[in-house]
């Protein structure tokens, strides 16, 4: 049986999404004030350093002449109980006279936790765990930032109906249609806006020669960093990245590759070259991601391929969100390049499992979003 405030929690979650990318490194949060079964005020955390969702919701109530004390507050994340960039939301809720608060997820940040207890001490009736998994997904990025030293990692790939990412000759333009490609550029723009990076493997770098920029009709305020991993150090004039975006490019290679004359020439142009102590050991991906977060300041990394790098990230448990675009095309060729290849499982329980969280049409293509199964059982 559904909770009586479930629909309002889902509305609050939709509001929270409006603050995605601008709220980082804070969590995205939405709030709704409900009176007599109707949402009468709304708010969300619009940007880092700005008022939190609860306060924005109270401002909306004031502007509409709504008395908060006659309402139930529905909020996706436990109201904070500490002084940070903004005052504690618990005190604003108590001061507004609200007597009933419905929470989606308890705050995983120990500095901000304790909001439920503070509200209860003030005589507020508090319920928690409504649409908890949905609300946990809302702050999946924040959970990664709180518990690891790496960025939140999104994997984006496109395939045909029969699971191919290119023909046997490597031709892949274009698997998906214009709508899906525009959606990807919007995602790139948002990653760049938040100070993140686009990551590709060596095969994609050398074969596609990409710029890894967001290209939209409107000007993009900040392009994402371009990051690649390859054991082969290219000549400085061989790739667009090194000619047109050298100071926005980070190139990871072997320790020996980083000491070559070509690497020195790239550094002279402003490319950041990083040699890895361990290569293809599994530890290299962690080393790369931690560098991008700790040294380059990237809260988000969007990996756009290829399939080999994507599989390596999945096997290492480093994919937090997987966007898969499926084109209604069939190649029907066993020698065409598959989405993933290289594993040798003998039984189905050896498969890498994911959790489908969204499925939607995207022009003539399909867009599926997956998350790790492990998130289902997190407390």
The answer on 159 and 124 residing in a single domain is no
| CATH number of the domain to which 362 belongs | 3.40.430.10
Peptide bond connecting 174 to the previous residue in cis, omega within 30 degrees of 0: yes
User: Tokens representing 349?
Assistant: 């329980």
Is there a single domain that holds both residue 166 and residue 111? Answer: no
Asked if the model's pLDDT at residue 379 lies above 60, the reply is: no
Question: What pLDDT is recorded for position 282?
Answer: 60
Average pLDDT along the chain: 92
The reported pLDDT for the residue numbered 281 is: 54
Residue 379 maps to a domain: no
Residues 109 and 236 in one domain: no
Same domain, 214 and 363: yes
Last residue of a domain, one of 98, 115, 141: 141
Q: Looking at residue 39, which CATH number applies to its domain? A: 3.40.140.10
Same domain, 99 and 180: no
> Is there a single domain that holds both residue 35 and residue 96?
yes
- Structural domain containing residue 240: 148-372
Same domain, 179 and 239: yes
How far is it, in rounded angstroms, from Cα 344 to Cα 354?
Answer: 18
Question: Is 174 part of any domain?
Answer: yes
Residue-wise pLDDT for 153-194, tens only, equals: 999 999 999 999 989 988 888 899 999 999 999 999 999 999
Tell me how far apart the alpha carbons of residues 375 and 358 are, in angstroms, rounded to a whole number.
Answer: 15
Q: How many domains would you assign to the chain?
A: 2
* Model confidence at 144: pLDDT above 90: yes
DSSP 8-state symbol, 4: T
76, 154: one domain: no
Residue numbering of the annotated binding site for Zn(2+): 52, 80, 89
The alpha carbon of residue 375 and the mean position of all alpha carbons in its chain are separated, in whole angstroms, by 14
Mapped onto helix, strand or coil, the DSSP state of residue 301 is strand
Give whichever of 91-95, 308-312, 338-342 has the largest mean pLDDT. Answer: 91-95
Percent of the chain, pLDDT > 90? 79
- Predicted confidence band at 378 (pLDDT cuts at 50, 70, 90)? very low
What span, in angstroms and rounded, lies between the C-alpha atoms of 79 and 73?
A: 10
How far, CA to CA in Å, does 300 sit from each of 8, 46, 48, 224, 321? 29, 18, 15, 10, 11
* pLDDT tens column, 329-355: 999 999 999 999 888 899 999 999 999
Residues 189, 78 share a domain: no
Predicted local confidence at residue 112, as pLDDT = 66
Burial of 63 (0-12, 13-18, 19+ CB in 10 A): exposed
At 2-39, the pLDDT tens digits run 899 999 999 999 999 999 999 989 999 999 999 999 99
* 42 Cβ neighbours under 8 A, 6+ residues apart: 11, 12, 15, 30, 31, 32, 33, 57, 60
* Separation between Cα atoms, residue 150 and residue 280, nearest integer Å: 18
Q: What is the pTM of this model?
A: 0.91
Q: Which of 54, 78, 248, 321 is catalytic?
A: 54
- Same domain? For 181 and 279 the reply is yes
Whether residue 378 is contained in a domain is answered as no
Q: Are residues 223 and 346 in the same domain?
A: yes
As a whole number, mean pLDDT of residues 61-90 equals: 91
Radius of gyration, alpha carbons of the chain: 23
Same domain, 277 and 199: yes
Mean pLDDT over residues 299-316, rounded? Answer: 91
How confident is residue 374, by pLDDT bands cut at 50, 70 and 90?
Answer: low
Q: Which of 210, 249, 257 is nearest to 232 (CA)?
A: 257
Cα(311)–Cα(189) distance, integer angstroms: 24
Q: What is the mean pLDDT of residues 188-213?
A: 92
Query: What phi-psi label fits residue 49: left (phi over 0), alpha (psi between -120 and 50 degrees) or beta?
Result: left
Give catalytic status of residue 54 as yes or no.
yes
Boundary of a domain, candidates 108, 141, 174: 141
DSSP lists the bridge partners of residue 164 as 338
The answer to whether residue 240 sits within a structural domain is: yes
């Amino acid at each position: 049986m559904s909770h009586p405030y479930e629909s309002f929690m889902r509305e609050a979650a939709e509001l929270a999404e409006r603050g995605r990318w601008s709220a980082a490194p804070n969590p995205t949060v939405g709030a709704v004030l409900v009176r007599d079964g109707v949402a009468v005020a709304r708010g969300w955390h619009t940007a880092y350093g700005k008022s939190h969702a609860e306060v924005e919701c109270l401002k909306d109530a004031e502007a509409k002449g709504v008395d908060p004390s006659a309402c139930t507050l529905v909020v996706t994340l436990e109201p904070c109980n500490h002084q940070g960039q903004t005052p504690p939301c618990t005190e604003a809720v108590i001061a507004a006279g609200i007597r009933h608060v419905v929470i989606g997820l308890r705050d995983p940040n120990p500095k901000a936790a304790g909001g439920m207890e503070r509200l209860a001490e003030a005589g507020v009736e508090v319920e928690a765990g409504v649409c908890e998994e949905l609300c946990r997904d809302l702050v999946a990025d924040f959970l990664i930032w709180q518990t690891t030293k790496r960025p939140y990692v999104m994997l984006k790939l496109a395939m045909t109906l029969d699971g191919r990412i290119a023909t046997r000759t490597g031709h892949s333009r274009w698997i998906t249609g214009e709508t899906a490609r525009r959606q990807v550029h919007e995602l790139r723009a948002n990653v760049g806006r938040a100070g993140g990076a686009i990551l590709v493997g060596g095969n994609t770098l050398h074969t596609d020669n990409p710029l890894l920029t967001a290209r939209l009709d409107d000007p993009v305020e900040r392009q994402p960093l371009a990051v690649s991993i390859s054991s082969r150090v290219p000549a400085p004039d061989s790739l667009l990245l090194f000619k047109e975006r050298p100071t926005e490019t980070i190139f990871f290679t072997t320790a020996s590759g980083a000491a070559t004359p070509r690497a020195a020439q790239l550094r002279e142009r402003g490319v950041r070259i990083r040699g890895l102590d361990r290569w293809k050991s599994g530890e290299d991906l962690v080393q790369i991601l931690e560098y991008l977060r700790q040294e380059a300041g990237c809260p988000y990394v969007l990996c756009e391929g290829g399939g080999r790098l994507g599989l390596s990230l999945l096997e290492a448990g480093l994919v937090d969100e997987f966007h898969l675009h499926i084109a209604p095309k069939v190649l029907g060729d066993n020698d065409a390049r598959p989405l993933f290849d290289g594993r040798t499982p003998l039984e189905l329980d050896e498969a890498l499992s994911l959790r489908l969280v969204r499925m939607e049409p995207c022009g003539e293509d399909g867009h599926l979003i997956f998350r790790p199964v492990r998130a289902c059982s997190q407390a």
